[in-house]
Amino acid sequence: MYIETVRFERVFDVQSGTFSFEAGGKCEFAVVFDHERAPTAGSTYAVALSEPGNWQKVLGWRDLSRPTVGFTYSPWFLALDLVLDLYLLGIAVLAAAWLFGGPWAALAAFVAMVLGSVGRVVFSALRNRQIEQALLAVSPEQTRTVTMSDMQLRRADSTAPAR
């Protein structure tokens, strides 16, 4: 996870939840935050990216003038999506397991699907907590890119000043 602080000098092509922007002499196109809003020109955001410089892989964001954090993947949305997947695909998997392996195979397949789904939701919630902590740690004056190793070093250093 990489945290980048960006001041949106110009925001354009705002449509259907995507937007393009210019900042620091670079243009980025078709960026998606939450399909509802786009930042305004002149605002400063801290953005969590899964890959450095790849604005197509936004994990979360925070307008530095506000204390709230937005996430691309909400654990509740993921849980609902997984329930629908289990409903639509799980029936076929359970039927095939029952047909080819019997009732114990079907039970094992059901347990594996449920545990896998719960694991994905828990992982998503923990990842969002890490993203939130990293974005809330960014001060409005900070302009350099902060990496996950920076956050771990700061957390390990008990003498570091709190921001």
Q: Per-domain residue ranges for the chain?
A: 1-157
Tell me the torsion sign for CA atoms 83, 119, 122, 124: negative
Tokens 């094992």 — which residue?
108
**How confident is the chain (163 residues) per 10-residue block, as mean pLDDT?**
88 86 87 80 89 88 87 80 82 91 92 87 88 87 53 50 46
Quote the pLDDT of residue 34: 77
- Asked if 34 contacts 72 with a C-beta cutoff of 8 angstroms, the reply is yes
Neighbouring C-beta atoms of residue 76, cutoff 10 Å:
11
Quote the pLDDT of residue 68: 87
